[in-house]
Structure 1
Amino acid sequence: MNSLNAQYFILIVPSCLFFIGLAFTCCRLFFKADIFLLWIGLAYTIPSIALFAQCLMSNPQLTLAAPFTSVLYLLGSWIGAYAISLKLNTTFQHRIAFLIFFSALIALTYYSYIAPQIWLRLVILNIALGSIGVLVFPDLFRQLSNSRSFDRWVFIFYFINVLYSFVRATINFFFLDNIDHNHIALTSSNWWLLGMSINIILNILFAIVLSGCAIKDVVYHLNNDRLHDPLTHLLNRRGFFEKTASLSFTSQSYFLVSLDLDHFKSINDTWGHYIGDQILYGVSQMMLKDKQAEDLIARFGGEEFICLFIAEDAAAALMRIEHYKTLLEQTTFTNYQIKMTASYGLTHIHNVHDIEYALQRADDLLYQAKTNGRNQISFDLML
């Protein structure tokens, strides 16, 4: 590769990284994608600025600018590691990252202005970049086997990128220690071109995986919104029927309760819909806190909630709903300390085809409880 083509090539690499990062950042800013993408975008764009500038520098200029470009590289690594911690939903160790950042910057400044050594700066910088990335490894390995397919590939490629930092440090230590003595221009050396080639391949592959992950997340959120009530975050009617379609009713005793908050219209009329919404959300949280692993809880509209649950027998099912009833009676909602009661319709479900009929039976029993004076449980169980 002649010098002109090599110059074009090494400038293409940071340019590609910059625009990849910009695309990820825009996905967050304009399309409300996961916040993880914003930080990943910054982790691409910030180091690409330093890389672009370095590709145009001679060795003396690299030495003069080293502490400043290193700040951008280290920030990129820090932000990238933080982005992965967001994806893992864990706490990032910012203090340790700052200690690595500050220590590396002191060493890089020393080997730039006091005892200039290009190869040693490269070793220190790459070890620091890798060390910041390693901070998320314990959480990454802990969650790797349980993560979804695209998330798993994101973590794998991140691991490879961090590992590559240590590989670069090793190569620099063993093969570039004579670069200062031989007066070789670092940015036109074969090692630099090789590093650029590997860099662009790894980062483009990582970007492809990230794009797939982002698309998957968008589809997941859209599907989640389609199946859940936006106020309470419980299943909606569609979500309830989709979930029940996959249940097996052969080995378990399923029961269904329909509950409707008593006198809820008067709450809206007296306190307003905002307070009414707070109460609905509070009731949903109360039900979720008491939720068993197999329970399906849904809001069917207005102040009506549905719970499909497993119980050993009819007596255990009735006891479960009596517990619900007591829990609701003892709970106060909003800063106005509002008390609520509900009426309940409880029935047994025999098979998946019985769902709609069971809902109708529970609804009839619910209105029977309303007719009998509210704050009651009506059921058709054989105790």
Structure 2
Amino acid sequence: MRMWKDVKGWKVFVSTIVAIITSILLAGMKNEIVFLFLPIIIFISANYGRRGGELGGLIMGFLWILTDEMFIRKGTSEISWMEWAINILFMVGIGAWLGIVHEQIKHLKVTDVLTQVYNRGYFLDILKKEFSHCQKNEYPLSLIMIDIDNFKKVNDTYGHQFGDVVLQQFSDLLKNELYPNRFIGRYGGEEFAVILPRTDSKEAYHLAELLRIKTGNQLFNGIKITISSGISTLHHHEPISVDHLIQQADKALYQAKHSGRNLTCVIDSVISISNTQIN
């Protein structure tokens, strides 16, 4: 159902109609029943991924057999189990393959190639959706902006390929500590961002501090790095926008960077925390 939620209802309706019309036209032009089902399987696999494609292929396989000219001419008694199996497996295979291809394309579209977290565009789409959901239901939502301190020096000293490995290993740390209930994105260069639905300032602060301490206590491609973080939070009583939430997190990150780095700073009207450093 996750893939369905990514497609608006009217788009699903339109694509369904297009799939049916295309099926009928192809079947009429080629005089082959199989063309009646292929576009429908394409639609199902595109919206539901591999498992949806397999199920759609299974259903279409049975329908293909039931409507095939050979079936109508021979009757059920003259069709072997081998023919049944081949036809059904053929359609299931097509559905599964199309579903896998679609999932891979979708993954490439929304994922940063180097770090395998969400790219900036898709991350901002998620932020807008989660912001709207939390605002509507009066839940808090926190945004953490994270920057690797002095990363330019890492690239200048060891080279960009070395720095890429550092970024990959740091993103692995984020994924290990934050998934599956949080959303991580590469915001640009050595800057990452994290969406924390249903998370207030204090919880977000403690989580950011945990990440900062764990980062400082391990090696990344054999070297030590530190991070600075800025946090902003949506509270249900505050009429703010997504842009304002991002600006506040950026402002908090700027404060952390210009207060000595290796800090977590919070901009929040609810709590008094401004910045801290734990050695």
The TM-score, its normalising length taken from structure 1, stands at: 0.48
Q: Distance in 2 between matches of 1:338 and 1:234?
A: 22
Structure 1 residue 371, shift from structure 2 partner: 1.3
Q: Distance in 1 between matches of 2:129 and 2:200?
A: 22
Structure 1 residue 216, shift from structure 2 partner: 2.0
Q: Distance in 1 between matches of 2:157 and 2:172?
A: 23
Q: Distance in 2 between matches of 1:313 and 1:219?
A: 36
- For structure 2, which runs of at least 5 residues remain unmatched after alignment? 1-49, 63-76, 272-279
**Residue 229 (structure 1) aligned with residue 112 (structure 2):** yes
Q: How does 1:183-202 map to 2 (within 5 A)?
A: 194=78, 197-202=80-85
Query: Which residue, 144, 149, 168 being the options, matches 2:52?
Result: 149
Query: Which residue, 280, 288, 291 being the options, matches 2:178?
Result: 291
Q: Distance in 1 between matches of 2:207 and 2:90?
A: 50
Report the number of matched residues. Answer: 202
Q: Distance in 2 between matches of 1:156 and 1:323?
A: 50
**Structure 1 vs Structure 2: percent identity of aligned residues?**
27
Corresponding residue for residue 203 of structure 2: 316
**Residue 266 (structure 1) aligned with residue 266 (structure 2):** no
Query: Which residue, 245, 248, 251 being the options, matches 1:364?
Result: 251
Q: Distance in 1 between matches of 2:78 and 2:158?
A: 69
Contact 1:258 1:363 in 2 (8 A): yes
* Other structure's SS at 2:178 match: coil
Quickly say closer, same or farther: Cα 1:210–1:350, change in 2 above 3 A.
Answer: farther
Letter in 2 for 1:149: G
**1:4-63 superposed Cα distances (whole Å, 9 cap, x missing partner):** xxxxxxxxxxxxxxxxxxxxxxxxxxxxxxxxxxxxxxxxxxxxxxxxxxxxxxxxxxxx
Structure 1 residue 242, shift from structure 2 partner: 2.7
- For structure 1, which runs of at least 5 residues remain unmatched after alignment? 1-146, 161-192
The one of the two structures with greater contact order (alpha-carbon pairs below 8 A, sep at least 6) is 2
Quickly say closer, same or farther: Cα 1:365–1:328, change in 2 above 3 A.
Answer: same
Structure 1 residue 312, shift from structure 2 partner: 5.0
Q: Distance in 2 between matches of 1:353 and 1:225?
A: 32
* Other structure's SS at 1:333 match: coil
Quickly say closer, same or farther: Cα 1:228–1:252, change in 2 above 3 A.
Answer: same
**Residue 347 (structure 1) aligned with residue 250 (structure 2):** no
Letter in 2 for 1:346: I
Contact 1:254 1:348 in 2 (8 A): yes
Q: Distance in 1 between matches of 2:241 and 2:55?
A: 40
The TM-score, its normalising length taken from structure 2, stands at: 0.65
Query: Which residue, 332, 338, 345 being the options, matches 2:223?
Result: 338
Contact 1:311 1:317 in 2 (8 A): no
Q: Distance in 2 between matches of 1:306 and 1:285?
A: 14
CA radius of gyration, larger in = 1
* Other structure's SS at 1:229 match: coil
Q: Distance in 2 between matches of 1:240 and 1:353?
A: 19
**Residue 302 (structure 1) aligned with residue 189 (structure 2):** yes
Quickly say closer, same or farther: Cα 1:312–1:208, change in 2 above 3 A.
Answer: closer
Contact 1:157 1:206 in 2 (8 A): no
Quickly say closer, same or farther: Cα 1:224–1:267, change in 2 above 3 A.
Answer: same
Q: How does 1:76-155 map to 2 (within 5 A)?
A: 148-152=51-55
Corresponding residue for residue 90 of structure 2: 207
RMSD: 2.8
Q: How does 1:156-167 map to 2 (within 5 A)?
A: none
Q: Distance in 2 between matches of 1:148 and 1:244?
A: 28
Structure 1 residue 326, shift from structure 2 partner: 0.6
